[in-house]
Amino acid sequence: MPEHNTRNTESVTAWCNHCGKPTQHKVSDGRRGRCMEHEAVGASKKQEAAARKREHEEKNPKLF
Ligand SMILES: [Zn+2]
């Protein structure tokens, strides 16, 4: 049985050029959206950078 993207499907496995491997992609209204893997990594990296900056400011309050 061939695979179909139905409206009930929330994610689909597809090749991602960014990740260089098959990954889960979001699906909305039957259309394939963004890769969920490197999207998640990007968000966590951003959060990590923000946390590091906050930590740095707490350690050096006189500089700010
Ligand atoms: Zn990706």
Q: How many domains does the chain have?
A: 1
Answer yes or no: is 58 within a domain. Answer: no
5-64 pLDDT tens trace: 555 668 899 999 989 999 999 888 888 888 988 876 555 677 778 888 888 888 887 766
Answer yes or no: is 33 within a domain. Answer: yes
Amino acid at 31: R
Q: Check residues 2 and 38 and name the one with the higher pLDDT.
A: 38
Q: Which two tokens stand for residue 43?
A: 């968000």
Q: Which two tokens stand for residue 30?
A: 């039957």
Ion ligand 1, residues whose Cβ is below 5 A away:
16, 18-19, 23, 35, 37-38
How close is the Cα of 19 to the center of ligand 1, in Å? Answer: 4
How close is the Cα of 50 to the center of ligand 1, in Å? Answer: 22
pLDDT for position 22: 95
Cβ contacts of residue 29 below 8 Å, gap of 6+? 7
pLDDT for position 38: 85
How close is the Cα of 3 to the center of ligand 1, in Å? Answer: 21
Answer yes or no: is 55 within a domain. Answer: no
Domain that holds residue 2: 1-38
pTM: 0.47
